[in-house]
Amino acid sequence: SYWDTAYDGDVMDNRVGLNLLYAQVGDPGRSALSSAQCRSHLPLSDRACVMKMIFSLPHQTVSDIERGWILVNKDQHRQLKSLQEKGSKKEFIHLGQTLKYYGYIKFDPCVTDFPEKGCQVIVSAGNNELNFHVKLPNEQMKEGSFKVTRMRCWRVTSSVS
């Protein structure tokens, strides 16, 4: 899993990795190389980093900003747009890494019985934490997070009433 965006630095040190990461960060509509293409075009030492990056959230940066999943202010949004127009790949990625919720994996919304029965929740994982955005029945949004250093098992259960 991609819990540490520090892997981006390793990917950016490789020319192919930088171009792939930037293409994905800068244009979320572009498809990534398939894992078979990645394996056949990169030296063995680079494959693990790039494979972790391919299956991670950073390629969704632009899309996630538009959805409000990554928080940016107007100045940051302007800077990102300017860097993208200039083709400043590393700078664009570095700025993206400073944004709140960059590199988080978002899971589909679900319903929970905590803190109240019938609450909608979106769970995301990143930066060594599990983050929860809970919509209470009164439409109020609450956020919580739990630090995670290691995850051995993840289990989701459903109950039928």
Give the global pTM: 0.61
Q: Where in the chain is the domain with CATH 1.20.80.60?
A: 7-97
pLDDT (mean) for 74-100? 87
pLDDT tens-digit readout, 105-140:
888 888 888 888 889 998 888 888 889 989 998 999
pLDDT tens-digit readout, 23-41:
655 544 333 333 333 333 4
- Under a CB-based contact definition with an 8 Å cutoff, are residues 26 and 92 in contact? yes
CATH of domain 7-97: 1.20.80.60
> How confident is the prediction for the chain on average, in pLDDT?
72
Residue 50's closest CA among 90, 81, 88, 19?
A: 19
- Under a CB-based contact definition with an 8 Å cutoff, are residues 3 and 125 in contact? yes
Residue 145 structure tokens:
């997070």
pLDDT of residue 18: 80
State yes or no: pLDDT of 75 exceeds 90.
yes
User: Three-state DSSP class for 21?
Assistant: helix
State yes or no: pLDDT of 43 exceeds 60.
no
Residue type, 92: F
